[in-house]
Structure 1
């Protein structure tokens, strides 16, 4: 019986998710300090190090994490209180101490800030900036005090809001990828570089050329549309005319993605750069911390998503793109200009990806040559989760993945594994609905 099979798949998926989440939580609880500071990480040329002491006594097994420029890592202090965290490059980072791992009644001493270190976003955080050397020292001193604890439900609510913000910007890139797949059956790996392109154009105009931010955003939108147009005109339409199969097209897409990515690296290098106004001071709205950029990001995403929905349902081109997605041969026989519609879809996808790149640069925060590649797997996951080729399914899938990624650390999963939570959700849902949430089941044979 179909419902029995679906129930069995759901139970198996739930069991798999439980094993992964519980296993990750147990691993986090069972973690031990490395034998030498930094021995539990991949070594780079740059690091932040220090010692945590209380009344001149080292504090062992205190959890210390670092974040900045889209990078996150964590470690534990050794028996001598020392810790070290390697980072990919120089820059400004936020160090946070998990006060639940400190002795009872002890917190970070706000009156004992070392030179060059300022208060972070909360009492348990410190902001450090690299100087001329390849390392910086951040010794942290403890004192007696009352901890400002946040309840589990407040943390969960804050994570859900952050997840919705991430999911909305992810939806912009995912919908573009879904529209391309729906009309051409192409898995566009270069979608990642279309995301990066938007952030790079904004960076060049507003930072390198010192023009207003709105000019950079407008240039990125235009540049994104031109990139989508150029990709279809130069690469994909000629290949379609030659009747190249889906698998060769996908291989070309992978090669194009890598080529563009390393061209980006050649011109801008490997550093992370910031757009104007990155990392503003957040506002406290109850348990939720939101900055003005967070509010703008969610507002822009919602406006664009509503616009895309109206375009697909209320315009001739939008309805034509859906008809091509359903049956391209029948659409062509009905007089729909398939190539023209596909060209417009590529332009729209480029614009959406460019805006997503700008918002992603503020969310991380930072602009880097491979920043789009960091969300490519999540883009594909959202498209598959919602149902291949369905724009509204990609929206739903992106929101689910965004929330899953942000709440997983609150549920006990290590920060390094939070993106794996999205893949667990994908596996569980596909076990129940192989066609995706809004996809249609295809009959085989």
Structure 2
């Protein structure tokens, strides 16, 4: 089921677009991309400030609304100049750096580009280009600038934006983006929770399983130019084998020697570091683009999305349903749940615990490798050597929030984390969104230490 679902994505990426772009009104067909932002004086929105975008046949000026938001659509990718009319600023509000009055920005992979105009005392410094930070104004709206680490960071280029700058449209765009992001987190998080449930090990090298899937997909589609559907199958087989190799080469010998969980935890941290820098040696320290077609820009109500985002979310749903059926309807799935509940009792009842653990590692590798394919496709069809490590903390947050050892809890926790990280960017600087997600985790655990779907354990 996983291979079939991801092969569908392969056919879409290979040029046969399975999801047709919905016909847009004539006014929207000319604006599949946009620049946007918020102008604030401290925390107070500023109305009536004029912003102008020029370039590639575009010369359009808009004024900020009552909420300080502005949005200008552009017809195609390319380089544009975004300017602010400082004469329309209220008295006492000035740019921190005069060179920010007019800057060039490039529309590329993302449908929406957030633009920052920082205000404050003059610094006398110069600068140009996109500033990924946020200040007292210009917090990106609808789409945010890449977080530290480049495009291969969570939500860094989800290609989901609103076709207008009203708050309702922006909120809907963030909700859809958050759900898509949460579904992709869930694929990888379920692997973590299955491994923990059957072995008691928190695998800190799990992010590298995701990176492995992305790198193999990059190598097969871009370096050797195989058809995308073949690349998907090869990546899934390689990821499953990589998961099996983890257990056969490292964790099974450690179990036989009855090595303590603390020592095993240190092993996973060392394995994570070793794999991460091995990946850097293989593909370099930059961000590499994948030669896969991301499809047309679709309009779903007031929301603009890339076909790649829609396909990734749909495939994630199909795979998650398949995993749920596997765990609840098959003998191996029931045995996995039995080992997770009580390994000793499962062994006494005739279940081969080592075989179940080996199958869990293979399944975790398969799911996480598939998540690597979908995630690299979702964030802009690019891969970076540490892409899995950048979302590892969010994966553990999802698992802990849902309840350690619960696959369905990992799904719920991942969706909550995805929604919180995306919706929070409407109100705070994008760089703080992961801190907000972890704050939600802390608050939930203060009132329900076992997580949302976890079981309360008796101690003593």
Q: Could you tell me how far apart the structure 2 residues matched to 1:426 and 1:166 are?
A: 17
Q: Among 356, 378, 390, which residue is 2:394 paired with?
A: 378
- State the partner residue of 1:76: 117
- Whole-Å separation in 2 of the counterparts to 1:255 and 1:66: 39
Any unmatched runs of 5+ in structure 2? 1-39, 46-78, 146-162
Deviation sequence 1:107-145 (CA, Å, 0-9, x none): xxxxxxxxxxxxxx99x99xxxxxxxxxxxxxxxxxxxx
- Structure 1 unmatched ranges of 5 or more: 1-25, 32-47, 88-94, 103-120, 126-147
Deviation readout 1:75-95 (Å, 9 max, x if unpaired): 5357589643579xxxxxxx9
- Hey, what's the Cα distance between the residues in 2 that align with 1:183 and 1:282? 43
CA separation of 1:247/1:395 partners in 2, compared to 1, >3 Å: closer, same or farther? same
Quote the offset at 1:279 in angstroms: 5.2
Deviations 1:10-58 (A, max 9, x none): xxxxxxxxxxxxxxxx997499xxxxxxxxxxxxxxxx99884649999
Cα separation, 2, equivalents of 1:279 and 1:261 = 27
Instruction: Kindly indicate whether residue 212 of structure 2 is the aligned counterpart of residue 197 of structure 1.
Output: yes
The structure 2 residue matched to 1:60, chosen from 84, 88, 95, is 95
Does structure 2 retain, via aligned residues, the 8 Å contact 1:195–1:372? yes
Give the structure 1 partner of residue 420 of structure 2: 404
Gap change, CA 1:216 and 1:432, over 3 Å in 2: same
How many residues align structurally?
354
Give the SS at the match of 1:211: coil
- Any conservation in 1 of the 2:115–2:138 contact (CA below 8 Å)? no
Q: Report the alpha carbon displacement of residue 67 of structure 1 after superposing the two structures with TM.
A: 9.1
Contact 1:50 1:83 in 2 (8 A): no
Question: For the structure 1 residues 167 and 258, does the alpha-carbon distance in structure 2 shift closer, same or farther, using more than 3 Å as the test?
Answer: same
What is the match of residue 279 of structure 2?
Answer: 264
Query: Distance between the aligned counterparts of 2:275 and 2:42, measured in 1?
Result: 38
For normalisation by structure 2, the TM-score amounts to 0.69
Change (3 A) 1:81 1:30: farther
Q: What corresponds to 1:216 in structure 2?
A: 231
Tell me the residue number matched to 1:247: 262
- For 1:403 and 1:436, locate their aligned partners in 2 and report how far apart those are by CA, in whole Å: 17
1:27/1:192 CA distance change after superposition, 3 Å = farther
- Structure 1 runs of 4+ aligned residues shifted over 3 Å read 26-31, 48-59, 61-70, 72-87, 95-98, 277-281
**Are the structure 2 counterparts of residues 271 and 237 from structure 1 closer, same or farther at C-alpha, using a change threshold of 3 Å?**
same
Does the C-alpha gap of structure 1 residues 249 and 74 become closer, same or farther in structure 2, counting only changes over 3 Å? farther
Check 1:248–1:66 CA distance in 2 against 1; reply closer, same or farther (3 A cut): farther
User: CA offsets, 1:183-213, max 9 Å, x none?
Assistant: 0000011110000000100110110001111
Name the CA distance, whole Å, in 2 between partners of 1:201 and 1:406: 28
Q: Over aligned residues, Cα RMSD in angstroms?
A: 3.7
